Amino acid sequence: MLMKAFTVYLSVLLLAGVAAAGDIARKGTSGADQLLIPVGARSIGVGGAFLANSIGVESIYYNPAGLAGVKRTEVMFSYMNYIADINVSYFSAGFNIGDVGSFGLSFKTIEAGDIPVTTVENPDGTGANFAPSFFTAGLTYSKQVTDILRAGGTVKFVNESILATSARGIALDFGVQYRFAGNLALGVAVKNLGSNMKYSGQDLQVRTDVPGATPTTPGTGLFEPVVESFQLPSYFEMSTTYEFKMSGQNALMVGSTYRSNNALEDEWMFGAEFQFSKYFALRGGHDLFVQNRASTQYDWTFGGGFAYTLEAFSVNVDYAYRAVDTFKGNNIIAVRLGF
């Protein structure tokens, strides 16, 4: 039975690889890349490979179907020390109301700090500062359809603002998780489907001389350039995980996710998690492009966690480190409470 299940696992991975559809010719044509910044220390620790097994409020980002795994009420806060002194904060909450299903809220914000205001006349700065505002807010619904099938979806509001210029859009995520007999699981998700976004605002307006002006016509005019819209960075993911039960309460879970991007190379993500004494976990993962492998910025990830459960309360504290090629590595910490 174990060999049969593992054969199915490898077959699914092979099919995902054959379905590669990344379009590297469109690199740089999408926007709202804040949607691609991952959250949650457990999932980052395994390289994003546990799409089929992610449950609870952390799964809202990876596969909204996993929210159906919430038993009662669950909240999570995640903080990442990202690149170039940028910080990423994430909060999510979910609750289960029986046969109706599970509902969740999520909010991710990007903090870039204060940036000096520069102009053509003052290239070294005017003395004023501004702070860009990048955030994503989501509403999720998920349901345990059968004993082995979960399905869910998320509606997200995406906002990017720089001074008086902003772009807004709506994105949709859909996901399914299916558990085969035994310890094999399959997950599928489609992420960031939605409308194009376009920047607009008074900061785009420029006052300049009017060609052919005469003494009887204004010498200057206010012009606003035509701004091109951009697509969201949508992608399709297929994932499998398999759990090896060991002696006592120890277990080893391995998984892989194949991501087909609409404006990037396709990606393979591999990960593993070793749980021992039911309280502790060690994790590792690797992310690579199917093409142009040397150009990937993020590759190896490592992490660990602690979990403790009482009858009516649970706490999970997780940490992850993600290596970055050009900048310092990312440090992520997450706390999840269930009650």
Q: Say what the pLDDT of residue 5 is.
A: 47
List domains and CATH numbers for the chain: 2-17+40-117+131-196+234-338 (2.40.160.60)
Whole-angstrom distance, CA of residue 174 vs CA of residue 338:
24
Residues linked to residue 238 through DSSP beta bridges, in sequence order: 188, 258
- The dihedrals phi and psi of 203, each to the nearest 5 degrees, come to -70, -15
Contact between 1 and 101 under an 8 Å Cβ cutoff? The reply is no
Q: Say what the pLDDT of residue 2 is.
A: 44
Measure the CA angle with vertex 63, ends 320 and 56; round to 5°: 65
Q: Say what the pLDDT of residue 215 is.
A: 65
Q: Say what the pLDDT of residue 16 is.
A: 46
- The dihedrals phi and psi of 249, each to the nearest 5 degrees, come to -110, 25
Q: Copy the structure tokens of residue 179.
A: 């558990």
Contact between 254 and 272 under an 8 Å Cβ cutoff? The reply is yes
Whole-angstrom distance, CA of residue 318 vs CA of residue 5:
30
If 0-12 CB within 10 Å is exposed, 13-18 middle and 19+ buried, where does residue 168 land?
A: middle
Q: Say what the pLDDT of residue 146 is.
A: 94
Q: Say what the pLDDT of residue 29 is.
A: 75
Contact between 183 and 245 under an 8 Å Cβ cutoff? The reply is yes
The string of pLDDT tens digits covering residues 49-76 is 999 999 999 999 999 999 999 988 999 9
Q: Say what the pLDDT of residue 83 is.
A: 92
If 0-12 CB within 10 Å is exposed, 13-18 middle and 19+ buried, where does residue 127 land?
A: exposed
Please state the pTM of the whole predicted model.
Answer: 0.86
What's the full length of the chain, in residues? 339
**SS3 per-residue string spanning 43-105:** HHHCCCCCCCCCCCCCHHHHCHHHHHHCCCEEEEEEEEECCCCCEEEEEEEEEECHHHCEEEE
Low-confidence ranges of the chain (pLDDT < 70): 1-26, 212-219, 221, 293-295
Q: Say what the pLDDT of residue 286 is.
A: 95
The string of pLDDT tens digits covering residues 268-303 is 999 999 999 889 999 999 998 887 766 678 889 999
- Average pLDDT of the chain? 88
Residues linked to residue 150 through DSSP beta bridges, in sequence order: 144, 177
